[in-house]
Amino acid sequence: MMFDNWAYGGPGFFGMGFGMLLFWALLIVGVIALLRWLAAGSGRRPPSPGQSALDILAQRYARGEIDHAEFEQKRRDLGGA
């Protein structure tokens, strides 16, 4: 029969093969984007090599991760002024 290929989404490049390729490509790109978004959303980044412990402590205090009392106690423990 002359129109058998139309039952599978059309003849040639835009047929079933292209649709499946597009589906899998979008699925893989979506999974990779989700994993990168989840990894970036953790908010934990390693300190840069030039940062001291007191610098990191001050940044945590500035972000509100620790309160003033905890900041002062840890600063004394580290030997800061």
Q: Say which residue the tokens 């412990």 belong to.
A: 53
Q: What is the Cα–Cα distance from 15 to 8, expressed in whole angstroms?
A: 6
pLDDT at residue 12 tops 80? no
Domain boundary assignment for the chain = 1-42, 49-81
Q: State the pLDDT confidence band at 7, using cuts at 50, 70 and 90.
A: low
What is the per-residue pLDDT across 46-66, written as a single tens digit (0 to 9) for each? 666 778 888 889 999 999 999
Sign of CA dihedral 64, 65, 67, 71: negative
Question: What pLDDT, on a 0 to 100 scale, did the predictor assign at position 51?
Answer: 81
Q: Are 57 and 81 in contact, with CB atoms under 8 Å apart?
A: no
Higher pLDDT, 50 or 14: 50
